[in-house]
Structure 1
Amino acid sequence: MRIRNSCPEDGQRVVEIWRKAVDATHDFLSAQDRQEIDELVCGFLPQASLWLAVDEHDYPLAFMLIDEGHMQALFVDPDSRGTGVGKALVRHGLSLHPTMSTDVNEQNAQAVGFYEKMGFQRIGRSPVDDQGKPYPLIHLQYQA
């Protein structure tokens, strides 16, 4: 496994990773909200500058989006969960941004636990997500 920047040819695969990961971990989303988010993601994600964890055949297994030291997204294909690709991406992000922050849906307890195990600490909470939907966010920041 290695980490590299995304390129336009990765667009379809990163959307696939996002969909599979959300379907596996975000069962708290309403069907309508899931569809609305999907439309936003499909319009944005393929062109975004991402970090990818790829296998020996250069096949993307997971991706991370960082904007000015804030991890906006980390999604791992469910078939690759537990293999260390998420940890590798987070470590890579921390090598670039030692005090990286992120937000996690409160209902996604596995993700909250993952980040806390990686050394992130809770620094706040919002009762709604970035779109104003009733999905509370936990604000986390890495503490060395």
Structure 2
Amino acid sequence: MIKELDVSKIDSVMKIWIEANIIAHDFISEDYWKSNYDFVKKVLPESTVFVYEDDGEIRGFIGIMEKSYIAGLFVANQYQCNGIGSRLIEKCKEYYPVLKLDVYAKNLKAVNFYKKHGFKIEQEKENDETKEIEYSMIWKL
């Protein structure tokens, strides 16, 4: 079931966030993600966060900022490739006529996932913090 995040469950969401980032971005130091953990945990509730929950367990989530920007889409490693990410994206498409995001070019699995869902690469740029190339992608209704 997809619903808005109950802030009392933020630790479950953050566990998925840190683990998924470290696995998906093996080209970035683990320390980078660990050093950003507290900041993300603090600002995450300022976003609209939809969680995919099953049997009382959060298995994935998506965070939307400024009514169009996907700040992150993460699915717990053991539940990936089960359609959870697709369901979360489709839920957001019901609420927002435009969705934007930035994704690392080296994260081909994510780039292909977003392309499959109708996102197009708008721009290629270097991330200021990691110095890695990322794509700005957009989907419009």
Q: Same fold (TM over 0.5)?
A: yes
Q: Which structure shows the bigger proportion of residues in strand conformation? A: 2
Quote how far apart the aligned CAs of 1:16 are: 0.8
- Contact preservation (8 Å) 1:127, 1:136: yes
Q: 2:57 aligns with which of 53, 56, 59?
A: 59
- Percent identity over the alignment is 24
What is the distance in 1 between the residues matched to 2:57 and 2:16? 11
For 2:36 and 2:125, the matched residues in 1 are separated by 19
Paired position in structure 1 for 2:120: 121
Distance 1:86 1:62 in 2: 7
Structure 1 residues without counterparts, runs of 5 or longer: none
Give the CA deviation at 1:41.
2.3
Given that 2:52 and 2:61 are in contact with CA atoms closer than 8 Å, whether structure 1 keeps it comes out as yes
Question: What is the match of residue 138 of structure 2?
Answer: 141
Runs of 4+ in 1 over 4 A off after TM superposition: none
Q: Structure 2: which 5+ residue stretches go unaligned? A: none
Deviations 1:84-115 (A, max 9, x none): 00000000111111221111111211100100
Q: Which residue number corresponds to residue 23 of structure 1? A: 22
TM-score under structure 1 length normalisation: 0.87
- Note the alpha carbon deviations across 1:113-139, whole angstroms, 9 max, x for none: 10001111101111115xx33122201
Count matched residues: 140
State the superposition RMSD in angstroms.
1.8
Q: How does the TM-score come out when normalised to structure 2?
A: 0.89
